[in-house]
Amino acid sequence: MNTNQYVAIMAGGIGSRFWPMSRNKMPKQFLDVLNTGQSLLQGTFQRFASFVPVENIFVITFEEYAPLVARQLPELPDANILREPSRKSTAPCVAYMAFKLLQRNPDASFIVSPSDHMVADPQGFANLAQVALQFAEQHSALVTLGITPTYPNTGYGYIQYEQEPVEDNVYRVKTFTEKPNLELAKTFIASGDFLWNAGIFVWKASDILAAFEEHLPEMYEVFAAERELFDSPQEQGALERIYPQCTNISIDYGIMEKARNVHIIPASIGWSDLGTWNSAYDNMDKDYLGNAVSGNNVMVIDATRNMVHVPHNKLVVLQGLDDFVIVDTNDVLLICKKDKEQEIKDYMAEVKRNKGDKFL
């Protein structure tokens, strides 16, 4: 294993589209969404631990979730659980990791990955990640993994790339468009030369910081002013001063859409971002009627194509429903048409207005 290579797993989100299973106190990255016996965070950690030293893997999370990370990943050193003082999207998170690693190791390269994605082919992913690390180290490139789109999803970034590879299976990016509208997404897919952005990035710490200095100079300066304190006992105090000054912006909008040295590696690894109950449904085993069921005591009668997630000790008899999301927790029951799941955030807002934060 290469000791100059690191991983930053981002695990600070709320996962609101998986409500009511995902809650403020226990968001989806800490849950066994797919009924596999492990949380999404644990699965992500295991993928990286197969080819990166455990001491080089960091989990960046909201400070409230640090105990959850420690409990689910007991093999991870406590010093590798990095605590963000507030949620400011992904750009500050990446800047934090880059400055920390550069203080530790001037030759550091690292992978940035969400904690809540699914990869059906972990060995294929490991192989591609190592190719990406090597390319980034040799070419001062910002590298991302790309997924062949299957429908015009407006929640993903779309990457257009040159058809001639720079190296085997590595292509220069022409355009990087984050979350287009539906018509534009349809146009991208029809062209055949766009990939979805998987949100998994690879670069040298020095190269991504050069991109921050060029494209997000104000954020860069805020971090750079405290750079000597990173990877030291004074780091957390520095973060408390830095984060209130940071813009709430993603690395996609802030850097990747603007940078000129972006490359992409097409990846067929069985990837899903597991952003919604429909994506969970797509990745779960189904019965002969097309129901995806998590729950040991569910009886299905004339019900089809439903996504069912209920406690294992509860008897649930499901009759006559077609194409619904049914999620039962100890205090909330959600029954929602699958094609309305994008409105779950609206339902949560209604719950907050009428019932406060108790059920969120």
Same domain, 25 and 107: yes
Same domain, 329 and 229: no
pLDDT at 345: 87
Same domain, 243 and 318: no
Is 200 inside a domain boundary?
yes
For residue 136, the tally of other CB atoms under 10 A from its CB is: 25
Task: CATH number of the domain at 112, please.
Answer: 3.90.550.10
Between CA 41 and CA 236 the distance in angstroms is 23
Q: Which of 272, 287, 302 is the last residue of a domain?
A: 272
* Domain, as residue range, for 287: 277-355
Same domain, 289 and 254: no
Is 332 inside a domain boundary?
yes
Q: Which of 217, 250, 272 is the last residue of a domain?
A: 272
Same domain, 266 and 299: no
Q: Please compute Rg for the chain using Cα positions.
A: 21
pLDDT at 290: 96
Q: Which of 237, 256, 272 is the last residue of a domain?
A: 272
* 185, β-bridge pairs: none
How many domains, in total, are found in the chain?
2
Same domain, 157 and 101: yes
> How high is the mean pLDDT in each 10-residue block of the chain (360 residues)?
91 88 92 89 96 96 95 96 93 97 96 94 94 94 91 85 90 86 89 90 97 97 96 95 95 91 92 87 92 94 95 93 95 93 88 92
Which residue from 328, 280, 352 is spatially nearest to 17, judged by alpha carbons?
280
- Map residue 69 onto helix, strand or coil: helix
Same domain, 141 and 223: yes
pLDDT at 180: 86
Same domain, 139 and 158: yes
Same domain, 213 and 333: no
pLDDT at 193: 87
Same domain, 209 and 323: no
pTM confidence score: 0.91
- Report CA-CA distances (Å) from 277 to 131, 323, 326, 339: 32, 12, 10, 10
- Map residue 230 onto helix, strand or coil: coil
Is 73 inside a domain boundary?
yes
pLDDT at 214: 96
Which residue from 251, 241, 242, 244 is spatially nearest to 216, judged by alpha carbons?
251
Type of residue found at 61: T
Q: Where are the beta strands (DSSP E) in the chain?
A: 5-10, 57-62, 81-84, 109-114, 118-119, 142-147, 157-161, 171-178, 194-204, 262-266, 271-272, 292-294, 298-301, 307-309, 316-319, 324-328, 333-337
Same domain, 285 and 310: yes
Same domain, 96 and 202: yes
- Confirm if 310 and 327 have CB atoms less than 8 A apart: yes
Is 360 inside a domain boundary?
no
Is 230 inside a domain boundary?
yes
